[in-house]
Structure 1
Amino acid sequence: MKRILIMMICLAGSLKGFSQAQPDQTYSFSINEAINYAYEHKDSVVNAGLDVKSADFKVKETVGQGLPQINGTASFQDYLKIPTTLLPGEFFGQPAGTFIPVKFGVKYQSNLSLSATQLLFDPSYIVGLQGRATYKELYNRAYTRSKIEVAVNVTKAYYQVLVSNEQIKLLDANIKQLKQQMDQTAAQNKQGFVEKIDVDRITVQYNNLITTRENTVRLLALNYQLLKFQMGMPIEYNLTLKDGLSDVDLNEDVAATVADTSFYRNRIEYGLTETNLKLSEFDLKRQKAQFLPKLSANASLSESYQDNSFSNLYSNSFPSSYIGLTLNIPIFNGFQRANQVKQSQITVQKNQNNLNSLKNSLTLQANRAKITYINGLQSLNNQKRNQELAREVLRISKIKYEQGVGSSIEVTQAQTALEDADNKYIQGLYDALVSKVDLDKAYGRIQ
């Protein structure tokens, strides 16, 4: 009985640990919720956030260079053999030209010192302080860029899942009506009204649709995994989607021309390039500041201990201290500073050129995205009409065939045309959704 009780306690503890180790792995997200989840879990965003924190510490490190720099040192020497110095013999009444060996010092020596320096004037340091806000801005904008890229990737992956679900619905509808038609044709064949080849044609189409659906279901599972990957979610977690295709606003108003012609300033790429230009300008100022003198104050306090007996070493001390100023005036260094300034000037010019070129590039991207989106909408609407027409042609073909004025080949061709129209509609739907995301990104609407 005691053994059974111990086993039950151990089993209960194991189950408790297992339940604690298995978190709730089922999630249901809208697009916005999926994006917010990715902001917290996607490695690229998390690392960009860590870079922002690292930049804060880098700024504090720069500020710390202007604070007092205090260092303490301690030393101990045991002279196993005290250094010997030769003194002229005439000092001790010996003949000229002779030397007397004399040992100076004691066996044990120890020094304790405290030194401090304070920067009073350094143009390079002043420029560094001026550029610290711009330096932090660079990493904040890089963090925003990572979030935008993740938002775009998650949205596209989310849409891919929605489109795959829509494709499965269309396949299910076609399979259902084709199954009814196959059963009716098989019954008519048994009654002798239609030939066996008519049944075979429909069966081939039915089998092909079943295979297509199975392939699409497997692709849907893969699309879910891709979405979870883009979100930074473990693949083994369960995920369902709240939003549907009806929640996506697909209309030409989205592509309306932006009134503000400087919309490119909303693009994070422009902000990053602009920040790089500012940093290069600060670097140019820093290089020019190298021509100016630097002034610092310094002070030192030390205690020296000497004795031939280790036990009495710290009985007596010999203190010393000083304060002073150090002025460092650059005079000539082989034109290195001048050449460094010229290099920084070229970097500023290149960054300015990059900014001007990026402005044109972003404008071109926005125009291209707008045209692609409008074309995608027109193609999608056209595919919708073709889909309805193909469905109507199939309906009429089936009626003619049932009334004996049409052929089974005509019905088969109409069914194939409907499947082709469905596939083109699905492709057009995905293209339109992706082009909408690209359009929002091009106009800087995703932040």
Structure 2
Amino acid sequence: MKRTLYILLFGLSLAFPAIAQQKDTTASFSLQEAISYAQTHQTSILNAKIDEQIAINTVKKTIGIGLPQVSANASFQDFLKVATSLVPGEFFGAPAGTLVPVKFGVKYNSSVGLDINQLLFDGSYLVGLKASRTYKELSVKNTGRTRIETNVAVTKAYYSVLVSNEQLALIDANLERLKKSLNDTEQMFKNGFVEKIDVDRLSVLNNNLLTERENVIRLLALNVNLLKFQMGMTVGSNLTLKDKISDIKVDQAQVLSDGQVYNKRIEYSLLQTQKKLNELDVKRYKSLFLPSLSAFGSTSANFQNDKFSNLYDTRFPTSVVGLRLSIPIISGGQKLYDLRNAKLESLKTDNNLVNLQNTIELEVAQAQTIYLNGQKSLENQKRNMDLAKEVLRVTKIKYDQGVGSSLEVTTAETSLKESQNNYINALYDMLINKVNLDKALGNINY
């Protein structure tokens, strides 16, 4: 017993480090890997796939309406008091005008049977069969739309983390440079070469930069958690990014060639499928004016006796087959108005298609303009940042040589920080605009 316990404890001692190591494992993803992960783990996509399965089951259910319907039945009756009827007395030799009470039936009755029904023709069923398959197509396209939306959400969240990392790197570089300047200025103050206000100005900049760094770190953690959420990862997971800002290619704004970009948009395809469903709905209501034909058959065995012990000794079989024709005549105008409403819904879909075409073309034009403006703004902010770095470098040289003031250095540091913030904002806007343009052009596939 003790030996077994020792072996178990030894095994657990080996397992716990492995479990701990697995728990602390950090997942690293490129942008495409993050998107692929989200496509198989994001809850919205998983639910969309479930909706596809529901649509498949709905199609099979609709098909089943036209298949033979078979049901079995059984019954047992115990007449505690057998029904009594009054019969003219002449039948039993009694005087005319008298009524004689007679009991028809027996105390115990039982039956077992089998019913079969087969739909032969029903216009609404045939149309419903087509509609169910179109509904399945619609569910597949809905899944595609969910995949595209997830792709966009993951990409934007991924870019947010990259931009936050870039912003943190710039702040760290500024802190390192500012720390050196502050140390040098403090030494110069101790030696009497500068005033106390020079040290205070740099200290204020340094403190502000440290506060900004803490804010960026918190924002970075929030962006990482948002990326995990969009990917379908647990918030407690460890996640790092493989891609860098420099890996992202900034293309020139795309130009439409044929003005038919809406044909590439999943929203337009979904609305076209909805139009097909509306047209089938019109056909379905029209088919309700047609007759329906079905075949039926049943067989049963009846058992009757006044004694329960002899109830099933004798069987009385019954079998019947036939056709049932149902012809609609008057429905109070309900079918007519249902048909009119279905036609109106189809007209609304036509109008929505035209409006969606115009909306998509407007979205593309806006996305192109915003993306092009963002590119120009990013280029300008990049030049301003490089220029601010050069101004700071020259200002510090002048200050070190005694021909410049500390106020000029502080102003240059502030200008550099402002230009870097403008660059980060322009960079983020450009990346988000790039995603929006790709989505508007229908370039994000599923």
TM-score of the two chains, using structure 1 as the length reference: 0.95
- Residues in 1 aligned to 2:301 and 2:93: alpha-carbon distance in whole angstroms: 38
Paired residue for 1:281? Answer: 279
- Residues in 2 aligned to 1:296 and 1:251: alpha-carbon distance in whole angstroms: 65
Of 264, 268, 280, the match for 2:266: 268
Contact 2:301–2:317 (Cα < 8 Å) also in 1: yes
Structure 1 residue 176 corresponds to structure 2 residue 179: no
- Look up the SS of the partner of 1:362 in the other structure: helix
Contact 2:35–2:151 (Cα < 8 Å) also in 1: yes
1:90 Cα deviation from its structure 2 partner? 2.5
Q: Partner amino acid for 2:161?
A: V
1:249 Cα deviation from its structure 2 partner? 1.3
Of 366, 369, 372, the match for 1:368: 366
- Residues in 2 aligned to 1:186 and 1:30: alpha-carbon distance in whole angstroms: 45
Task: Report the number of matched residues.
Answer: 444
Deviations 1:40-90 (A, max 9, x none): 111111111110110000011111111111111111111122112222222
1:6 Cα deviation from its structure 2 partner? 3.2
Structure 1 residue 350 corresponds to structure 2 residue 343: no
Paired residue for 2:79? Answer: 79
1:438 Cα deviation from its structure 2 partner? 0.2
Paired residue for 2:213? Answer: 213
1:262 Cα deviation from its structure 2 partner? 1.1
- Residues in 2 aligned to 1:260 and 1:140: alpha-carbon distance in whole angstroms: 28
Q: Partner amino acid for 1:308?
A: D
- Residues in 1 aligned to 2:259 and 2:22: alpha-carbon distance in whole angstroms: 50
Describe the shift of the 1:13–1:174 C-alpha distance in structure 2 as closer, same or farther (beyond 3 A): closer
Q: Partner amino acid for 1:128?
A: G
- Residues in 2 aligned to 1:16 and 1:315: alpha-carbon distance in whole angstroms: 72
Paired residue for 2:52? Answer: 52
- Residues in 1 aligned to 2:83 and 2:149: alpha-carbon distance in whole angstroms: 71
- Residues in 2 aligned to 1:191 and 1:294: alpha-carbon distance in whole angstroms: 107
Of the structure 1 ranges 42-51 and 89-98, higher mean CA displacement relative to structure 2 is found in 89-98
- Residues in 1 aligned to 2:261 and 2:197: alpha-carbon distance in whole angstroms: 63
- Residues in 2 aligned to 1:79 and 1:65: alpha-carbon distance in whole angstroms: 38
Structure 1 residue 99 corresponds to structure 2 residue 102: no
Deviations 1:314-350 (A, max 9, x none): 2211101111111111111112111111111100100
Q: Partner amino acid for 1:182?
A: L
1:233 Cα deviation from its structure 2 partner? 0.6
- Residues in 2 aligned to 1:11 and 1:305: alpha-carbon distance in whole angstroms: 74
Paired residue for 1:6? Answer: 5
1:208 Cα deviation from its structure 2 partner? 1.1
Contact 1:362–1:442 (Cα < 8 Å) also in 2: yes
Q: Partner amino acid for 1:249?
A: K
- Look up the SS of the partner of 1:131 in the other structure: helix
Q: Partner amino acid for 1:301?
A: T
Contact 1:168–1:216 (Cα < 8 Å) also in 2: yes
Contact 1:251–1:377 (Cα < 8 Å) also in 2: no
1:10 Cα deviation from its structure 2 partner? 5.9
- Look up the SS of the partner of 2:297 in the other structure: strand
- Residues in 1 aligned to 2:151 and 2:367: alpha-carbon distance in whole angstroms: 17
1:385 Cα deviation from its structure 2 partner? 0.3
Unaligned runs of 5+ in 2: none
Paired residue for 2:380? Answer: 382
Describe the shift of the 1:296–1:18 C-alpha distance in structure 2 as closer, same or farther (beyond 3 A): farther
- Look up the SS of the partner of 2:234 in the other structure: coil
Deviations 1:335-372 (A, max 9, x none): 21111111111001000000011000000001100101
Paired residue for 2:330? Answer: 332
- Residues in 2 aligned to 1:267 and 1:355: alpha-carbon distance in whole angstroms: 12
- Residues in 1 aligned to 2:18 and 2:294: alpha-carbon distance in whole angstroms: 63
Deviations 1:380-409 (A, max 9, x none): 000000000111111111111111111101
- Residues in 2 aligned to 1:289 and 1:21: alpha-carbon distance in whole angstroms: 66
- Residues in 2 aligned to 1:302 and 1:22: alpha-carbon distance in whole angstroms: 71
Paired residue for 1:320? Answer: 318
Deviations 1:100-156 (A, max 9, x none): 222221221111111111111111111122333321111111100001111100000
Describe the shift of the 1:363–1:319 C-alpha distance in structure 2 as closer, same or farther (beyond 3 A): same
- Look up the SS of the partner of 1:446 in the other structure: coil
Taking only aligned residues, the RMSD between alpha carbons, in angstroms, comes to 1.8
Paired residue for 2:421? Answer: 423
1:182 Cα deviation from its structure 2 partner? 0.5
- Look up the SS of the partner of 1:259 in the other structure: coil
TM-score of the two chains, using structure 2 as the length reference: 0.96
Paired residue for 1:161? Answer: 161
Unaligned runs of 5+ in 1: none
- Residues in 1 aligned to 2:16 and 2:96: alpha-carbon distance in whole angstroms: 95
Describe the shift of the 1:349–1:388 C-alpha distance in structure 2 as closer, same or farther (beyond 3 A): same
Q: Partner amino acid for 1:264?
A: Y
